[in-house]
Chain A
Amino acid sequence: MIRALPNTLGALGVAFLLAFPLLYAAGNYDYVMHLWITAFFYAILASSWALLAGYGGQFSFGRMAFMALGAYSAGLLDNYVVLSSAPTGTCAEFGLFGGWLVFINPTGVSTSAVNCLQAARAAWPEGVSTSRLPLIVSILIGAGVGGGFGWLIGTLVLRLRAAYLALFTVGFSEILRAVISAEVWITRGQAGLPMSPIFPDGITLFGTYFASNAKLPVYYVMLGLFLLTLLVLILLARSRIGLFLRALREDEDAAEALGVDTVKYKRTVFVVTAMIAATAGAVQGHYVGIITPNTLILLQMALVIAMAVIGGLENIVAAAVGAIIISFGLEFLRNDFVILGQSVDMSTWRLVFFGLLLMLTLRFLRNGVIHGGLLWLERRAVGAETVAKRRAGAEGSQ
């Protein structure tokens, strides 16, 4: 009975998440929904990292870099590529399915510069419509860019030992941040790249109209992405690839000697998790409405790692649940307070606390809090069964 507990809890959890926005009636509706959306976002990153690190033993610090690659790819498409019903004559453009695919010249952070689309618009007659690329296309392109970089990095460093991957991905994040900060003409640097909402014209669901800034549709988009991610990760973990990953995590040389092309499987998972991170980044970028290079600082990556480790590195679902709990925890620890006449800046000190928690979990609770708890339950279940069997056996023999 205790054995079935995790699955029952899982099903209840999914049902709760699906129903929550419809049932929630207490105050601060938008704020609470926002917390959930952020939590799902981190849960996607943390659980995909858990597959890579916990199953595959590949410690990449590049989760945020792939996330940013996806977000910026989608953001650049959103800003500089437009579908138009009429040619502009001034932009780089070509015909596509009866319309025009227009590439706008970037004008950087200057507010006075006029780009070619604005110039053309002034001259256009009434009734010319423009729209961005379909959301799904730009997100897929973002995922592709993330996966492509994942493939390149994987090819370069995955044949080497663990430390190289960690070193290289830290470096890659720094470089990406440097590039995004420096190439102001196209990324707008620290000013951030604005992105249109997921549903720019709002959406009507079951007869109810939701405006573009409504949280409920976004909640379901992010939840869907989260559940899809979990599904993909679990299928992957249970497949042949999952078996090979665990083998090479335990002993890479032995796995090689038994015919496992370790680099290939490591790279496969590296690319898949990179694509997941990139997709999450693209969706989150559209939701938040702006992306900046600050998503690439150490803090963000460290948070994802802390979430996965505290939840349980070797269990994808535990990592996701850990991410959701910590994401909320961080929010509740935000309020500053005064102690002994000193104002304590909680936005910093909560991170000190999480750093310490990360180290202590690694040191003393190797399986993480949630996964560790599940294992404890499982042991108790096995223990209880054994006791029950013995008792039954004793009664039978009497």
Chain B
Amino acid sequence: MTITLEVNDIRKKFGGLQVLKGVSFRIEGPELVGLIGPNGAGKTTLTNVLDGAIKPDSGIIRLNGQRIDPLAPYEVARAGLGRTFQVTRAFRRMSVLENLYVPALAMGHARSERDCRDQAMEILEFLTIDHLRNEYGRALSGGQQKLLELGRLLMLDPDVYILDEPFAGVHPTLMATIYKWIQRVNGQGKAIILISHQMESIFTLCSRLLVLNYGDLIADGVPSVVKTDPAVIEAYLGHEEDMSGTGMVNLKEENHA
């Protein structure tokens, strides 16, 4: 069975602000999709809506044919959608291993901590943080916490992964690990939605780009085409400029900080 995620006309309003104005797209099979857009475009809101943390005002989401928009986040996770958070949310006063046990036991992949210890150790080694296995989550650096979140997602083993800013504040050496992680997951036939401000990574990794701008999905296509789309350039910079250059990346990073 191929993985399908159908998002159909999602709308969401906060107070008087229309954050999502009818977003629709469809993901099929092991796609690696980049979701980009300026700050305040609605990327995180869209993630929260997909994950079930926020209920949309209208619209329908189906994962593998099952309607998931009215479900609670844990039901969405069990249906096969996992996500990381923009601001890392490791369980601060639980050890790294315990952090990994939570999804495995919650999903019923393992019956006890001992059952999934080997798998957890394998993942930690892959992520190069196995020497920290008994440390508390809060003892980890920001980048290591990002890796920990990715490790938890592997234990959850969903069909669709949503990564919200996995590269923000991560040391370059750890970036390589995250790249490796993404390729491993994608290689297992899973779909990934990657949200990032780091255009280089997006262009390196993704085969398809979605561009959100103030609640509208203004572009959906192959990166090389999207990059030259006037609407996208307009949305990003307000005037035409080549967005493949490093100037773009720096600008966005400054905004982010």
Contact = CB atoms under 8 A, between A and B. Distances in A.
A–B contact via C-beta, under 8 angstroms: yes
Interface of A: 240, 243-244, 246-247, 250-251, 253-262
B251 interface: no
B166 interface: no
B102 interface: yes
B93 A258 contact: no
B72 A256 contact: yes
A210 to B, nearest CB: 45
A258 B82 contact: yes
B156 A258 contact: yes
Contact of A243 (B78, B83, B105, B137): B105
Interface string B86-130: 000111111000100111011100001100000000000000000
Given A244-B106, A258-B103, A259-B103, A250 B73 contact: no
Interface string B67-80: 00000111001100
Given A243-B101, A244-B105, A257 B92 contact: no
Given A243-B101, A251-B89, A253-B53, A258 B106 contact: yes
B93 A250 contact: yes
Interface centre among A240, A247, A250, A258 (most CB of B within 10 A): A258
Interface in B224-250: none
A250 B94 contact: yes
Given A257-B82, A258-B152, A244 B89 contact: no
B165 interface: no
18 contacts: A243-B98, A243-B101, A243-B113, A244-B102, A244-B105, A246-B94, A247-B91, A251-B89, A251-B90, A251-B91, A253-B85, A254-B85, A256-B73, A257-B83, A258-B77, A259-B107, A259-B156, A261-B72
B102 A243 contact: yes
B214 to A, nearest CB: 25
A250 B77 contact: no
B92 A260 contact: no
Contacts of B156: 258-259
Contacts of A254: 85, 89-91
A332 to B, nearest CB: 36
B164 to A, nearest CB: 11
Chain A's interface: helix, strand, loop or mixed, by majority?
Answer: helix
Interface of B: 51, 53, 72-74, 77-78, 82-83, 85, 89-94, 98, 101-103, 105-107, 112-113, 137, 152, 156
A256 B51 CA distance: 10
A247 B53 contact: no
Given A243-B102, A253-B89, A259 B74 contact: yes
A246 B98 CA distance: 10
B102 A247 contact: yes
Contacts of A250: 91-94, 137
Given A255-B102, A259-B106, A246 B91 contact: yes
Contacts of B72: 256, 261
Contacts of B51: 257
B10 to A, nearest CB: 18
A240 B105 contact: yes
Contact of A247 (B77, B78, B94, B113): B94
A378 to B, nearest CB: 13
Smallest CB-CB A-B distances: 4 pairs? A259-B77, A256-B73, A258-B103, A250-B91
Given A243-B101, A243-B102, A247-B102, A257 B53 contact: yes
Contacts of A251: 89-92
A244 B83 CA distance: 18
Given A253-B85, A257-B51, 6 more contacts: A243-B105, A255-B91, A256-B53, A256-B74, A257-B74, A259-B106
B73 A253 contact: yes
Contacts of A255: 91, 102, 106
A261 B156 CA distance: 14
A257 B113 contact: no
A31 to B, nearest CB: 42
B6 to A, nearest CB: 21
B102 A258 contact: yes
A240 B102 CA distance: 8
A311 to B, nearest CB: 19
